[in-house]
Structure 1
Amino acid sequence: MIRKHTMSITAITLLLASPLAAQEATTPQMTPEMQAMMEAFQKAGTPGAEHQKLASLAGTYDLTIKGWHTPGGEPTTDTGTATRKMVLGNRVMVEDVTSQMMGQPFNGHGMHGYDNTTGKYWATWNDNMSTGLMVSEGTCDAKLTCTYTGSHHDPVTKKPQTTRMTTRWTDANTELFEMYGPGPDGKETKMMEITYKKRGQ
Protein backbone atom coordinates (compact mmCIF):
# COMPACT_ATOMS: atom_id res chain seq x y z
CA MET A 1 0.00 0.00 0.00
CA ILE A 2 2.79 2.37 0.90
CA ARG A 3 4.64 1.45 -2.30
CA LYS A 4 1.53 2.11 -4.42
CA HIS A 5 1.02 5.51 -2.76
CA THR A 6 4.65 6.45 -3.40
CA MET A 7 4.33 5.50 -7.08
CA SER A 8 1.21 7.68 -7.42
CA ILE A 9 3.03 10.73 -6.00
CA THR A 10 5.93 10.13 -8.41
CA ALA A 11 3.55 9.97 -11.36
CA ILE A 12 1.80 13.20 -10.36
CA THR A 13 5.15 14.96 -9.92
CA LEU A 14 6.26 13.90 -13.40
CA LEU A 15 3.00 15.08 -14.95
CA LEU A 16 3.25 18.51 -13.26
CA ALA A 17 6.92 18.89 -14.14
CA SER A 18 6.40 18.10 -17.84
CA PRO A 19 4.85 21.49 -18.85
CA LEU A 20 7.54 23.32 -16.84
CA ALA A 21 10.28 21.35 -18.55
CA ALA A 22 8.72 22.05 -21.94
CA GLN A 23 8.51 25.77 -21.10
CA GLU A 24 12.16 25.88 -20.02
CA ALA A 25 13.13 24.11 -23.23
CA THR A 26 11.43 26.79 -25.37
CA THR A 27 12.68 29.78 -23.32
CA PRO A 28 15.73 31.28 -25.06
CA GLN A 29 18.91 31.55 -23.04
CA MET A 30 20.10 35.08 -22.22
CA THR A 31 22.92 36.26 -24.44
CA PRO A 32 25.87 38.12 -22.88
CA GLU A 33 24.43 41.33 -24.32
CA MET A 34 21.04 40.69 -22.70
CA GLN A 35 22.73 39.87 -19.40
CA ALA A 36 24.74 43.11 -19.56
CA MET A 37 21.58 45.12 -20.28
CA MET A 38 19.77 43.54 -17.33
CA GLU A 39 22.69 44.30 -15.01
CA ALA A 40 22.81 47.91 -16.25
CA PHE A 41 19.10 48.40 -15.52
CA GLN A 42 19.47 46.82 -12.08
CA LYS A 43 22.41 49.08 -11.26
CA ALA A 44 20.51 52.16 -12.45
CA GLY A 45 17.49 51.29 -10.30
CA THR A 46 19.18 50.29 -7.04
CA PRO A 47 19.14 52.96 -4.26
CA GLY A 48 22.57 53.84 -2.92
CA ALA A 49 24.38 56.16 -0.52
CA GLU A 50 23.01 59.29 -2.21
CA HIS A 51 19.45 58.10 -1.67
CA GLN A 52 20.24 57.43 1.98
CA LYS A 53 21.37 61.06 2.28
CA LEU A 54 18.04 62.21 0.88
CA ALA A 55 16.23 59.92 3.32
CA SER A 56 18.00 61.69 6.20
CA LEU A 57 16.07 64.85 5.25
CA ALA A 58 12.66 63.29 5.92
CA GLY A 59 10.57 65.11 8.51
CA THR A 60 8.54 68.27 9.12
CA TYR A 61 10.06 71.75 8.84
CA ASP A 62 9.04 75.28 9.79
CA LEU A 63 9.86 77.75 7.03
CA THR A 64 10.82 81.41 6.86
CA ILE A 65 10.44 82.58 3.27
CA LYS A 66 11.94 85.79 1.91
CA GLY A 67 11.19 87.03 -1.60
CA TRP A 68 12.78 89.87 -3.57
CA HIS A 69 10.57 91.47 -6.24
CA THR A 70 13.11 94.19 -7.15
CA PRO A 71 16.90 93.75 -7.06
CA GLY A 72 18.35 95.22 -3.89
CA GLY A 73 14.91 96.06 -2.47
CA GLU A 74 13.39 95.00 0.81
CA PRO A 75 12.18 91.39 0.76
CA THR A 76 8.72 90.22 1.70
CA THR A 77 8.67 87.63 4.50
CA ASP A 78 6.23 84.77 4.94
CA THR A 79 6.13 81.61 7.03
CA GLY A 80 5.11 78.09 6.18
CA THR A 81 5.67 74.38 6.72
CA ALA A 82 7.21 71.62 4.65
CA THR A 83 6.97 67.86 4.94
CA ARG A 84 9.50 65.54 3.34
CA LYS A 85 9.19 61.79 2.92
CA MET A 86 10.72 59.04 0.83
CA VAL A 87 8.66 57.12 -1.75
CA LEU A 88 9.19 54.52 -4.48
CA GLY A 89 11.22 52.21 -2.32
CA ASN A 90 13.43 55.00 -0.90
CA ARG A 91 14.37 56.20 -4.37
CA VAL A 92 12.69 59.63 -4.40
CA MET A 93 12.03 62.27 -1.75
CA VAL A 94 8.70 64.12 -1.97
CA GLU A 95 8.34 67.60 -0.48
CA ASP A 96 5.03 69.38 0.13
CA VAL A 97 4.99 73.04 1.15
CA THR A 98 2.15 75.09 2.62
CA SER A 99 2.57 78.84 3.17
CA GLN A 100 1.46 82.30 2.08
CA MET A 101 2.74 84.25 -0.92
CA MET A 102 1.75 87.83 -1.70
CA GLY A 103 -1.16 87.45 0.70
CA GLN A 104 -2.47 84.34 -1.04
CA PRO A 105 -2.47 80.69 0.12
CA PHE A 106 0.46 78.86 -1.43
CA ASN A 107 0.93 75.11 -1.93
CA GLY A 108 3.95 73.61 -3.62
CA HIS A 109 5.02 70.09 -4.51
CA GLY A 110 8.57 69.01 -5.23
CA MET A 111 10.41 65.78 -5.95
CA HIS A 112 14.11 65.18 -5.33
CA GLY A 113 16.24 62.29 -6.45
CA TYR A 114 19.63 61.04 -7.52
CA ASP A 115 20.13 59.47 -10.94
CA ASN A 116 22.61 56.60 -10.80
CA THR A 117 23.00 56.82 -14.58
CA THR A 118 23.98 60.49 -14.85
CA GLY A 119 25.60 60.72 -11.43
CA LYS A 120 23.63 63.90 -10.67
CA TYR A 121 20.88 64.98 -8.31
CA TRP A 122 17.62 66.19 -9.85
CA ALA A 123 14.49 68.02 -8.71
CA THR A 124 11.06 69.02 -10.00
CA TRP A 125 8.73 71.73 -8.71
CA ASN A 126 5.18 72.84 -9.35
CA ASP A 127 2.66 74.81 -7.29
CA ASN A 128 -0.81 76.32 -7.20
CA MET A 129 0.38 79.62 -8.72
CA SER A 130 1.50 78.06 -11.99
CA THR A 131 0.52 75.37 -14.46
CA GLY A 132 4.14 74.87 -15.48
CA LEU A 133 6.94 72.68 -14.24
CA MET A 134 10.48 73.50 -13.20
CA VAL A 135 13.08 70.80 -13.77
CA SER A 136 16.51 71.10 -12.15
CA GLU A 137 19.75 69.15 -12.08
CA GLY A 138 22.84 69.57 -9.96
CA THR A 139 25.50 68.22 -7.66
CA CYS A 140 25.81 67.85 -3.88
CA ASP A 141 28.74 67.10 -1.62
CA ALA A 142 28.84 64.74 1.35
CA LYS A 143 27.27 67.42 3.60
CA LEU A 144 24.42 68.02 1.11
CA THR A 145 25.69 71.43 0.09
CA CYS A 146 24.15 71.55 -3.37
CA THR A 147 24.05 73.66 -6.51
CA TYR A 148 21.25 73.16 -9.03
CA THR A 149 20.42 74.71 -12.37
CA GLY A 150 16.71 74.84 -13.16
CA SER A 151 14.65 75.75 -16.19
CA HIS A 152 11.05 76.90 -16.57
CA HIS A 153 9.05 79.09 -18.95
CA ASP A 154 8.66 82.71 -17.89
CA PRO A 155 4.92 83.65 -17.87
CA VAL A 156 5.63 87.15 -19.25
CA THR A 157 8.10 86.44 -22.05
CA LYS A 158 6.91 82.84 -22.66
CA LYS A 159 10.59 81.95 -23.07
CA PRO A 160 12.70 79.48 -21.09
CA GLN A 161 14.30 81.02 -18.02
CA THR A 162 17.24 79.57 -16.13
CA THR A 163 17.62 79.83 -12.37
CA ARG A 164 20.44 78.85 -10.05
CA MET A 165 19.64 77.32 -6.67
CA THR A 166 21.86 76.46 -3.73
CA THR A 167 21.24 74.62 -0.47
CA ARG A 168 23.46 74.32 2.58
CA TRP A 169 23.07 73.35 6.20
CA THR A 170 24.00 76.13 8.63
CA ASP A 171 23.69 73.69 11.54
CA ALA A 172 22.46 70.12 12.08
CA ASN A 173 18.78 71.16 11.96
CA THR A 174 18.75 74.24 9.70
CA GLU A 175 18.89 74.26 5.91
CA LEU A 176 19.23 77.44 3.84
CA PHE A 177 17.83 77.46 0.28
CA GLU A 178 18.63 80.34 -2.09
CA MET A 179 17.35 80.99 -5.61
CA TYR A 180 18.90 83.34 -8.18
CA GLY A 181 17.56 84.42 -11.56
CA PRO A 182 17.90 87.15 -14.17
CA GLY A 183 16.88 90.66 -13.09
CA PRO A 184 15.42 93.40 -15.34
CA ASP A 185 18.90 94.10 -16.69
CA GLY A 186 19.54 90.43 -17.41
CA LYS A 187 22.10 90.10 -14.61
CA GLU A 188 21.72 87.45 -11.94
CA THR A 189 19.95 88.61 -8.80
CA LYS A 190 18.71 86.94 -5.63
CA MET A 191 15.01 86.11 -5.89
CA MET A 192 14.21 83.92 -2.89
CA GLU A 193 15.61 82.60 0.37
CA ILE A 194 13.98 79.90 2.48
CA THR A 195 15.19 78.84 5.91
CA TYR A 196 14.12 75.29 6.84
CA LYS A 197 14.06 74.52 10.56
CA LYS A 198 13.51 70.82 11.28
CA ARG A 199 11.01 70.01 14.04
CA GLY A 200 11.59 67.59 16.87
CA GLN A 201 15.31 68.16 17.06
Structure 2
Amino acid sequence: MRRTTACLLLATALACPPLAAQDPGKASPEQVAAMQAYQRAATPGPAHAGLAMTVGDYTVSIKSWSTPGAEPTVDTGTATRRMLLDGRVVAEELRASMGGQAFNGFGLTGFDNVSGKYWSTWNDSMGTGLTVAEGTCDAAARCTMQAHWNDPVTRQRTEARLAIRWESPSVEVFEMYAAGPDGKEMKMMEMTYTRK
Protein backbone atom coordinates (compact mmCIF):
# COMPACT_ATOMS: atom_id res chain seq x y z
CA MET A 1 0.00 0.00 0.00
CA ARG A 2 2.80 2.42 0.87
CA ARG A 3 4.46 1.66 -2.48
CA THR A 4 1.20 2.33 -4.32
CA THR A 5 0.69 5.62 -2.47
CA ALA A 6 4.27 6.65 -3.21
CA CYS A 7 3.77 5.86 -6.89
CA LEU A 8 0.58 7.93 -7.01
CA LEU A 9 2.30 10.88 -5.35
CA LEU A 10 5.25 10.56 -7.73
CA ALA A 11 2.92 10.44 -10.73
CA THR A 12 1.10 13.53 -9.46
CA ALA A 13 4.37 15.35 -8.87
CA LEU A 14 5.53 14.55 -12.40
CA ALA A 15 2.21 15.64 -13.87
CA CYS A 16 2.18 18.89 -11.86
CA PRO A 17 5.78 20.16 -11.59
CA PRO A 18 6.40 22.35 -8.55
CA LEU A 19 5.18 25.84 -9.20
CA ALA A 20 8.22 27.31 -7.51
CA ALA A 21 10.34 25.94 -10.36
CA GLN A 22 8.06 27.48 -12.99
CA ASP A 23 7.36 30.95 -14.18
CA PRO A 24 4.08 31.72 -12.33
CA GLY A 25 2.70 33.12 -15.56
CA LYS A 26 3.18 29.74 -17.29
CA ALA A 27 1.34 27.61 -14.71
CA SER A 28 -2.11 26.59 -15.82
CA PRO A 29 -5.09 27.34 -13.59
CA GLU A 30 -5.44 23.59 -13.08
CA GLN A 31 -1.82 23.29 -11.91
CA VAL A 32 -2.26 26.20 -9.51
CA ALA A 33 -5.48 24.71 -8.11
CA ALA A 34 -3.89 21.26 -7.73
CA MET A 35 -0.88 22.67 -5.87
CA GLN A 36 -3.09 24.72 -3.58
CA ALA A 37 -5.23 21.64 -2.83
CA TYR A 38 -2.14 19.62 -1.91
CA GLN A 39 -0.86 22.44 0.29
CA ARG A 40 -4.19 22.65 2.14
CA ALA A 41 -4.22 18.86 2.58
CA ALA A 42 -0.67 18.84 3.95
CA THR A 43 -0.84 21.79 6.36
CA PRO A 44 -1.38 20.91 10.05
CA GLY A 45 -4.21 22.87 11.63
CA PRO A 46 -6.17 23.18 14.89
CA ALA A 47 -7.09 19.48 14.94
CA HIS A 48 -3.41 18.53 14.77
CA ALA A 49 -2.59 21.01 17.54
CA GLY A 50 -5.25 19.27 19.64
CA LEU A 51 -3.66 15.90 18.97
CA ALA A 52 -0.28 17.30 20.00
CA MET A 53 -1.73 18.06 23.43
CA THR A 54 -2.02 14.29 24.03
CA VAL A 55 1.75 13.78 23.78
CA GLY A 56 3.35 12.43 26.96
CA ASP A 57 3.77 9.42 29.23
CA TYR A 58 0.80 7.65 30.81
CA THR A 59 -0.12 4.87 33.19
CA VAL A 60 -2.93 2.75 31.77
CA SER A 61 -5.65 0.74 33.48
CA ILE A 62 -7.28 -1.84 31.20
CA LYS A 63 -10.65 -3.50 31.81
CA SER A 64 -11.84 -6.29 29.51
CA TRP A 65 -15.19 -8.07 29.28
CA SER A 66 -15.89 -11.36 27.46
CA THR A 67 -19.61 -11.53 28.25
CA PRO A 68 -22.21 -8.90 29.22
CA GLY A 69 -22.60 -8.41 32.95
CA ALA A 70 -19.44 -10.34 33.86
CA GLU A 71 -16.80 -8.92 36.13
CA PRO A 72 -14.03 -7.35 34.03
CA THR A 73 -10.48 -8.58 33.87
CA VAL A 74 -8.23 -5.74 35.05
CA ASP A 75 -4.70 -5.19 33.81
CA THR A 76 -2.21 -2.33 33.87
CA GLY A 77 0.44 -0.85 31.64
CA THR A 78 2.20 2.26 30.42
CA ALA A 79 1.95 4.26 27.21
CA THR A 80 4.07 6.88 25.51
CA ARG A 81 2.73 9.24 22.85
CA ARG A 82 4.87 11.39 20.56
CA MET A 83 4.33 13.46 17.41
CA LEU A 84 5.58 12.34 14.00
CA LEU A 85 5.77 13.92 10.55
CA ASP A 86 6.27 17.48 11.79
CA GLY A 87 3.12 17.62 13.91
CA ARG A 88 0.78 15.66 11.65
CA VAL A 89 0.43 12.29 13.42
CA VAL A 90 0.51 10.98 17.00
CA ALA A 91 2.28 7.66 17.59
CA GLU A 92 1.44 5.62 20.70
CA GLU A 93 3.47 2.75 22.12
CA LEU A 94 1.72 0.65 24.78
CA ARG A 95 3.37 -1.86 27.11
CA ALA A 96 0.98 -3.78 29.32
CA SER A 97 -0.28 -7.21 30.33
CA MET A 98 -3.57 -8.80 29.41
CA GLY A 99 -4.81 -12.06 30.89
CA GLY A 100 -1.38 -12.78 32.30
CA GLN A 101 0.39 -12.29 28.97
CA ALA A 102 2.51 -9.45 27.70
CA PHE A 103 0.44 -7.06 25.61
CA ASN A 104 2.33 -4.55 23.50
CA GLY A 105 0.74 -2.29 20.95
CA PHE A 106 1.49 0.49 18.50
CA GLY A 107 -0.99 2.98 17.11
CA LEU A 108 -1.12 6.05 14.91
CA THR A 109 -3.76 8.79 15.10
CA GLY A 110 -4.24 11.73 12.80
CA PHE A 111 -6.70 14.13 11.23
CA ASP A 112 -7.33 14.10 7.49
CA ASN A 113 -7.80 17.63 6.17
CA VAL A 114 -9.38 16.21 3.02
CA SER A 115 -12.13 14.09 4.63
CA GLY A 116 -12.46 16.27 7.74
CA LYS A 117 -12.27 13.13 9.92
CA TYR A 118 -9.94 11.69 12.53
CA TRP A 119 -8.37 8.32 11.78
CA SER A 120 -6.37 5.73 13.68
CA THR A 121 -4.57 2.46 13.11
CA TRP A 122 -3.61 -0.15 15.69
CA ASN A 123 -1.35 -3.21 15.79
CA ASP A 124 -0.55 -5.30 18.87
CA SER A 125 1.12 -8.49 20.00
CA MET A 126 -2.17 -10.40 20.19
CA GLY A 127 -2.37 -10.59 16.39
CA THR A 128 -0.72 -9.76 13.09
CA GLY A 129 -3.56 -7.79 11.54
CA LEU A 130 -4.46 -4.13 11.44
CA THR A 131 -7.33 -2.29 13.08
CA VAL A 132 -8.44 0.81 11.18
CA ALA A 133 -10.83 3.45 12.57
CA GLU A 134 -12.32 6.73 11.39
CA GLY A 135 -14.64 9.22 13.03
CA THR A 136 -15.29 12.64 14.46
CA CYS A 137 -14.67 14.60 17.65
CA ASP A 138 -16.66 17.44 19.16
CA ALA A 139 -15.48 20.67 20.81
CA ALA A 140 -15.26 18.88 24.17
CA ALA A 141 -12.80 16.32 22.70
CA ARG A 142 -15.38 13.52 22.81
CA CYS A 143 -14.77 11.27 19.84
CA THR A 144 -16.75 8.49 18.19
CA MET A 145 -15.08 6.26 15.65
CA GLN A 146 -16.05 3.19 13.65
CA ALA A 147 -13.34 0.52 13.58
CA HIS A 148 -12.82 -2.76 11.79
CA TRP A 149 -10.38 -5.68 11.73
CA ASN A 150 -10.27 -9.31 10.61
CA ASP A 151 -11.51 -11.73 13.30
CA PRO A 152 -9.04 -14.64 13.81
CA VAL A 153 -11.84 -17.16 14.53
CA THR A 154 -14.39 -16.32 11.83
CA ARG A 155 -11.82 -14.86 9.43
CA GLN A 156 -14.45 -12.22 8.68
CA ARG A 157 -14.38 -8.46 9.04
CA THR A 158 -15.43 -7.42 12.54
CA GLU A 159 -16.69 -3.95 13.33
CA ALA A 160 -16.66 -1.99 16.56
CA ARG A 161 -17.60 1.40 17.91
CA LEU A 162 -14.93 3.38 19.74
CA ALA A 163 -15.71 6.14 22.22
CA ILE A 164 -12.97 8.44 23.52
CA ARG A 165 -13.35 11.21 26.07
CA TRP A 166 -11.11 13.36 28.24
CA GLU A 167 -12.34 13.50 31.84
CA SER A 168 -9.66 16.07 32.67
CA PRO A 169 -6.51 17.44 31.01
CA SER A 170 -4.69 14.43 32.47
CA VAL A 171 -7.19 11.57 32.11
CA GLU A 172 -8.44 10.02 28.87
CA VAL A 173 -10.94 7.14 28.72
CA PHE A 174 -11.08 4.87 25.67
CA GLU A 175 -14.01 2.44 25.28
CA MET A 176 -14.61 -0.24 22.67
CA TYR A 177 -18.05 -1.71 21.92
CA ALA A 178 -18.70 -4.69 19.63
CA ALA A 179 -21.18 -7.52 19.16
CA GLY A 180 -21.25 -9.92 22.10
CA PRO A 181 -22.13 -13.64 22.10
CA ASP A 182 -25.82 -12.80 21.58
CA GLY A 183 -25.06 -10.47 18.68
CA LYS A 184 -25.97 -7.34 20.65
CA GLU A 185 -23.50 -4.54 21.24
CA MET A 186 -21.58 -4.80 24.50
CA LYS A 187 -18.64 -3.04 26.08
CA MET A 188 -15.55 -5.11 25.34
CA MET A 189 -12.78 -2.91 26.71
CA GLU A 190 -12.12 0.25 28.68
CA MET A 191 -8.67 1.81 28.92
CA THR A 192 -8.02 4.73 31.25
CA TYR A 193 -4.90 6.76 30.47
CA THR A 194 -3.56 8.91 33.31
CA ARG A 195 -0.77 11.32 32.48
CA LYS A 196 2.34 10.86 34.61
TM-score surpassing 0.5? Answer: yes
Counterpart secondary structure, 1:131 = coil
Task: State the match for 1:166 in structure 2.
Answer: 163
Q: 3-state DSSP class of the match of 1:185?
A: coil
Cα distance change on mapping 1:122 and 1:24 into 2, 3 Å: closer
Deviation track 1:135-193 (CA, whole Å, cap 9, x = no partner) reads 00000112211001001011111110100010111122111111000011111000000
Moved over 2 A (4+): none
Q: Measure how far apart 1:28 and its partner are.
A: 9.4
Are 2:52 and 1:55 aligned?
yes
Structure 2 CA distance for aligned equivalents of residues 103 and 113 of structure 1: 31
CA deviations on 1:87-144 (whole Å, 9 max, x unpaired) are: 0010000001000011111100000000000000000000111110000000011221
Distance 1:171 1:34, change over 3 A: same
The aligned runs of 1:10-159 (5 Å cut-off) are 29-159=26-156
* Secondary structure in structure 1 of the residue aligned to 2:152: coil
CA distance in structure 2 between the aligned counterparts of 1:96 and 1:135, rounded to whole angstroms = 16
Amino acid at match of 2:27: M
Secondary structure (helix, strand or coil) at the match of 1:43 reads helix
TM-score normalised per structure 2:
0.86
Answer with 1 or 2: which has the greater Rg: 1
Go from structure 1 to structure 2 and tell me whether the alpha carbon gap of 1:31 and 1:82 turns closer, same or farther (over 3 Å shift). same
Shift of 1:24: 7.1
Q: Which residue of 2 aligns with 1:5?
A: none
2:5 is aligned to none
Q: Identity percentage over the alignment?
A: 52
Corresponding position of 2:182 = 185
**5+ residue gaps in structure 1?**
1-22
- Matched residue, 2:7: none
Q: Say what the alpha-carbon RMSD is for the aligned residues.
A: 1.6
Match for 2:79: what amino acid?
A
Shift of 1:29: 2.2
For the residues of structure 2 that align with 1:171 and 1:52, how far apart are their CA atoms? 17
Aligned counterpart, 2:12: none
Q: Number of residues paired by the alignment?
A: 176
Q: 1:24 to 1:142 in 2, by over 3 A?
A: closer
